[in-house]
């Protein structure tokens, strides 16, 4: 007997009850982004491997350890399942020359892939909302992105999400800080763990982002990047903070916030919570002015962020905000050949009037069908037997209103009666 196949570890099925919740969540996301002028872009899941090595940085955990990469068996091209969305979005903007005439506000929703240890809110196949603004140079777009995020938490009814902010300055400022970090960590090399020793000369900034408790005190005393920022970088950072203070959005400046991708400069931010265990970041991003030029386009400023959908869904569910699955307005019950034929016409006619209908399929007695009608959550059952079919009529039975009368109506009058009662019910609520 063959073994039952299972999903790949860390790549989860999203079953109907949860998937309906996801659709409601995504509808909220799309409305929120539209209100800020962002437009959708749909990107491939598979991209050339060099895109991520060039964009993210070869000496990063994502490229070194986490990417699902393979060689195309037909042409030998190195390909990778996308581990994040910004690189692919920038590649598309360059390839299709989207910012030649005007800046672009873009967003995408979809799967990403990283080979890491699955845990609550973090999986090997995960879903992100990515938001990118390309062609905007000032601190205003950075600040607007943060304000957007704050509005979304309010729209979703979430609290306990805190904003951390930092500036990575410009490459030459980071180079000075990098030299100071290397000197500092060299003096304390015996205290570094294996990851720290590996990163010391390749990416010392990432040591500051360590989750190793034994290194926290060492990293807290390390040289701070903000002390190496020039006047322009400081002015940009202050411009972001000023908008946030004016809007009443609280934040904490975290000098150890560096992000795990090499393309960031100037503003970086994370929205974090203590309600998801160790993996507390639900939204993160920042400015990446050098990436367009780095990937072969005409240099242009850019800023963006990404949110993990699984983490936000978990937060909403933990807060009791998960809605019940939507129920149909009508469940059509029928028995007999003539009744079944009429039931199809009735169901389609009701749908023409904007009424959601679940038509019983699979046969069964009236009693068993009515049990399923009640279990469906439908507001009404429309009941058709051969006697009703012979006279072009149907029984309309309210299922959620105790003691309500069952009516016998011409099938042409069903839609008006149902819509009228649905409107009355909404007004009472």
Q: How many CB atoms lie within 10 A of CB 289?
A: 19
Residues 240, 142 contacting (CB under 8 angstroms):
yes
User: Phi-psi region for residue 29, left (φ > 0), alpha (ψ -120 to 50) or beta?
Assistant: alpha
CA 250 to chain centroid = 23
Nearest CA among 368, 354, 357 for reference residue 394: 357
Measured in Å, how far apart are the chain's first and last C-alpha atoms? 56
What whole-number distance in Å separates Cα of residue 270 and Cα of residue 264? 13
Helix (H) or strand (E) holding 284: strand 281-287
Domains of the chain: 16-169+229-318 (3.30.930.10), 330-428 (3.40.50.800)
β-bridge mates for residue 393, sequence order: 410
Q: What is the pLDDT along the chain (429 residues), one digit of tens a residue?
A: 578 899 999 999 999 888 989 999 999 999 999 999 999 999 999 999 999 998 888 777 788 889 999 999 999 999 999 999 999 999 999 999 999 889 999 999 999 999 988 776 678 999 999 999 999 999 999 999 999 999 999 999 898 899 999 999 988 998 899 899 999 999 998 989 888 888 888 888 888 878 788 888 898 899 988 899 999 999 999 999 999 999 999 999 998 787 766 688 999 999 999 877 666 889 999 999 999 999 999 999 999 999 999 999 988 988 777 666 778 999 999 999 999 999 999 999 999 999 999 999 999 999 999 999 999 999 999 999 999 999 999 999 999 888 788 999 999 999 999 998 887 666 555
Structure pTM?
A: 0.84
Kindly write down the DSSP assignment for every residue of 232-277, as one continuous string. HHHHHHHHHHHHHHHHT---EE-TT---S-TT-EEEEEEEE-SSST
């Amino acid at each position: 007997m063959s073994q039952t196949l299972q999903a790949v570890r860390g790549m989860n099925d999203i079953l109907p009850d949860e998937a309906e919740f996801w659709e409601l969540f995504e509808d909220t996301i799309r409305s929120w982004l539209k209100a800020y002028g962002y437009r959708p872009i749909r990107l491939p899941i598979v991209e050339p491997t060099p895109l991520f090595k060039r964009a993210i940085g070869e000496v990063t955990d994502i490229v070194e350890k986490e990417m699902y990469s393979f060689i195309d068996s037909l042409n030998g091209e190195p390909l990778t399942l996308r581990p994040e969305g910004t690189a692919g979005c920038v590649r598309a903007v360059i390839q299709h020359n989207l910012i030649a005439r005007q800046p672009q506000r873009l967003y995408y929703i979809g799967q990403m892939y990283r080979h890491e240890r699955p845990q609550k809110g973090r999986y090997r196949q995960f879903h992100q909302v990515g938001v990118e603004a390309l062609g905007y140079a000032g601190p205003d777009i950075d600040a607007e992105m943060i304000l957007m995020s704050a509005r979304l938490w309010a729209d979703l009814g979430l609290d306990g999400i805190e904003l951390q902010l930092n500036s990575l300055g410009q490459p030459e400022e980071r180079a000075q800080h990098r030299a100071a970090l290397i000197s500092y960590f060299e003096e304390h090399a015996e205290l570094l763990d294996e990851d720290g020793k590996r990163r010391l000369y390749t990416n010392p900034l990432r040591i500051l982002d360590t989750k190793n408790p034994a290194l926290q005190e060492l990293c807290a005393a390390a040289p701070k990047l903000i002390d190496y920022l020039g006047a322009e970088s400081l002015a940009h950072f202050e411009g972001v903070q000023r908008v946030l203070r004016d809007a009443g959005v609280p934040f904490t400046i975290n000098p150890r916030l560096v992000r795990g991708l090499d393309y960031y400069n100037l503003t970086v931010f994370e929205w974090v919570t203590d309600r998801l265990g160790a993996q507390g970041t639900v939204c993160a991003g920042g400015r990446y002015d050098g990436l367009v030029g780095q990937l072969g386009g005409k240099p242009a400023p850019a800023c963006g962020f990404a949110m993990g959908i699984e983490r936000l869904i978990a937060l909403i569910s933990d807060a009791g905000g998960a809605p019940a699955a939507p129920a149909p307005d009508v469940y059509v019950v029928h028995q007999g050949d003539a009744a079944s034929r009429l039931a199809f016409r009735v169901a389609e006619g009701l749908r023409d009037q904007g009424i959601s209908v679940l038509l019983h399929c699979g046969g069964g007695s009236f009693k068993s069908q009515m049990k399923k009608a009640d279990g469906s959550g439908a507001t009404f059952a429309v009941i058709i037997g051969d006697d009703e079919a012979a006279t072009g009529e149907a029984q309309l039975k309210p299922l959620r209103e105790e003691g309500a009368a069952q009516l016998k109506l011409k099938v042409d009058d069903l839609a008006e009666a149902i819509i009228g009662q649905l409107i009355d019910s909404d007004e009472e609520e």
